[in-house]
């Protein structure tokens, strides 16, 4: 049986066993499944462990072979442009859906207040984290690392990308006998990282089962019911963006067959969904881009780590719906200019959102503050936290699909020959 089929079985049986035991009130099984969580955490840690060596090594090798700095600038410009445009489209879609469906309009105030009270503590914790987030000016300045080793040690990917690209570009201008051994060294690190990923993958079906079963076993169904419309708007928006917007971009910008594209990348969502982390999924995203689509190492090693860090279409869409939901539930008017502010702040906030579980909700706090919902932040966030994990899983899927479509677009626009079955 293929690995991805096994992982899918792990995922589905995790949902059935976890949600089933919760629904049937089988407390001892719920406790048992909850106790499996460390297995899943070990898997996420193992995947995350390989991200720094993989990103640095593949970026150094990739940018050293890109040749001239102008090509690098061109690829960088296309990548950023693509990421910003698709994120803005996602936010706009979220706003349009929330204006049409008004998910917050029907919730009665008593349900609202009891939900809020239930998650108040967790919401306050998130607010403390958000208060430590630097302003956008510093986020941009921090892209230049003071010490790349520190960036690696603190998992600060953006400055690390910056350094690795510059370093690789510098290598490319050295004479052969100087650059060859260094490139070989990083090439070797890259290959070894890929081997480690293969080893980690062997455990994936069991780890995915543990992750999903332990989450769904703790999932209260009542909560789901009261937040259903809000959740459905987010899920519907994610589906529209993930299939239609990304599909159209794949068809018309990358000029690939959308169905083939989705087929080829179909293993990646399993990981994004179970780990809720673009970063932890990155090793899988990169090998899929190279092995399933035929995208070069140069392009994929630049576009994908950058995407895992700054491109969050799904998160931005979810933030737009969440802001509107909280505003509607508290009777706060969101006029056109407030909604445009959401488009701008959510698009920029995605740059500062780390690709880790729950990061989107923290940046949401900043957006709520910007649009004038500052005094509703704690209760508003508390309101939606109950179903945030499941939405996080789904938005992460859309985030990584967007990254892969960008890699395909950049590769094609640079004249790369991708897999002939996928190309139009
Ligand atoms: N978990 C998301 C990601 O890693 C970020 C978020 O929306 O919280 O892409």
Strand-pairing partners, residue 423, are 256
Separation of alpha carbons 209 and 8, rounded Å: 9
Confidence of residue 119 (pLDDT cuts 50, 70, 90): confident
Confidence of residue 370 (pLDDT cuts 50, 70, 90): confident
pLDDT for 146 = 95
If you measure from the C-alpha of residue 350 to the centroid of ligand 1, how many angstroms do you get, rounded to a whole number?
A: 9
Cβ-contact 88, 423 below 8 angstroms: no
Residue 94: CB within 6 Å of ligand 1?
Answer: no
Nearest to 18 by CA among 32, 5, 33, 4: 33
For residues 169-197, give the mean pLDDT: 92
* CB atoms inside a 10 Å sphere around CB 204: 22
Pick 258 or 356 by higher pLDDT.
258
Confidence of residue 249 (pLDDT cuts 50, 70, 90): very high
pLDDT for 113 = 80
Residue nearest to atom 1 of ligand 1 (CA): 357
Q: Which atom of ligand 1 is nearest to the CA of 276?
A: 1
- The helix/strand/coil state of 373 is coil
Domains of the chain: residue spans and CATH: 3-413 (1.10.3860.10)
Q: Which atom of ligand 1 is nearest to the CA of 281?
A: 4
pLDDT for 369 = 86
Q: Is 374 left (phi over 0), alpha (psi -120 to 50) or beta?
A: alpha
pLDDT for 358 = 87
Q: Which of 353, 387, 403 gets mutated to test ligand 1 (max ligand atoms within 8 A of its CB)?
A: 353
Share of the chain above pLDDT 90, in %: 50
pLDDT for 408 = 97
If you measure from the C-alpha of residue 419 to the centroid of ligand 1, how many angstroms do you get, rounded to a whole number?
A: 29
If you measure from the C-alpha of residue 276 to the centroid of ligand 1, how many angstroms do you get, rounded to a whole number?
A: 6
Residue-wise pLDDT tens digits, 328-363:
988 888 999 989 999 998 888 877 777 888 889 888
pLDDT for 220 = 64
Helix %, strand %, coil % of the chain (to 5): 80, 0, 20
If you measure from the C-alpha of residue 253 to the centroid of ligand 1, how many angstroms do you get, rounded to a whole number?
A: 25
pLDDT for 383 = 85
Q: Which atom of ligand 1 is nearest to the CA of 353?
A: 5
Q: How far is CA 366 from CA 128, 155, 323, 342, 371, in A?
A: 12, 22, 11, 10, 9
- The helix/strand/coil state of 43 is helix
If you measure from the C-alpha of residue 257 to the centroid of ligand 1, how many angstroms do you get, rounded to a whole number?
A: 27
Strand-pairing partners, residue 256, are 423
- pTM of structure: 0.86
């Amino acid at each position: 049986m293929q690995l991805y089929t096994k992982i899918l079985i792990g995922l589905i049986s995790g949902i059935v066993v976890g949600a089933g035991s919760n629904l049937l009130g089988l407390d001892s099984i719920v406790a048992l499944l909850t106790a499996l969580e460390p297995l899943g955490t070990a898997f996420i840690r193992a995947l995350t462990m390989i991200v720094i060596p993989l990103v640095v090594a593949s970026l150094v090798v990739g940018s050293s072979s890109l040749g001239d700095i102008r090509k690098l600038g061109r690829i960088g410009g296309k990548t950023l442009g693509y990421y910003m445009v698709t994120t803005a489209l996602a936010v706009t879609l979220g706003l349009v859906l929330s204006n049409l469906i008004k998910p917050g309009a029907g919730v009665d105030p008593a349900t609202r207040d009891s939900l809020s009270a239930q998650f108040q503590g967790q919401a306050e914790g998130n607010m403390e984290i958000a208060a430590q987030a630097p302003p956008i000016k510093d986020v941009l300045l921090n892209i230049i690392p003071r010490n790349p080793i520190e960036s690696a040690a603190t998992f600060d990917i953006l400055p690390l990308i910056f350094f690795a690209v510059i370093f690789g570009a510098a290598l490319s201008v050295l004479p052969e006998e100087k650059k060859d051994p260094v490139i070989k060294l990083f090439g070797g690190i890259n290959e070894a990282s890929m081997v480690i990923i293969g080893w980690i993958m062997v455990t994936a079906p069991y780890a995915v089962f543990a992750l999903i079963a332990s989450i769904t076993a703790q999932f209260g169904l009542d909560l789901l019911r009261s937040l259903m419309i809000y959740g459905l708007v987010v899920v519907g928006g994610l589906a529209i963006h993930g299939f239609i917007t990304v599909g159209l971009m794949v068809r018309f910008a990358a000029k690939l067959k959308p169905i083939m594209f989705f087929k080829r990348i179909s293993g990646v969502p399993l990981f994004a969904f179970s780990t809720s982390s673009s970063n932890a999924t990155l090793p899988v995203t990169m090998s899929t881009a190279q092995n399933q689509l035929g995208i070069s190492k140069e392009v994929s090693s630049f576009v994908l780590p950058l995407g895992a860090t700054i491109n969050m279409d799904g998160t931005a869409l979810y933030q737009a719906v969440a802001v509107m939901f909280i505003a509607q539930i508290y009777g706060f008017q969101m006029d056109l200019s407030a909604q445009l502010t959401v488009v701008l702040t959510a698009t920029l906030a995605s740059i500062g959102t780390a690709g880790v579980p729950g990061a989107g909700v923290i940046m949401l706090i900043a957006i709520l503050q910007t649009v004038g919902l500052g005094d509703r932040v704690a209760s508003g966030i508390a309101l939606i936290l109950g179903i945030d994990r499941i939405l996080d899983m789904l938005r992460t899927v859309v985030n990584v699909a967007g990254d892969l479509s960008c890699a395909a677009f950049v590769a094609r626009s640079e004249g790369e020959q991708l897999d002939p079955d996928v190309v139009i």
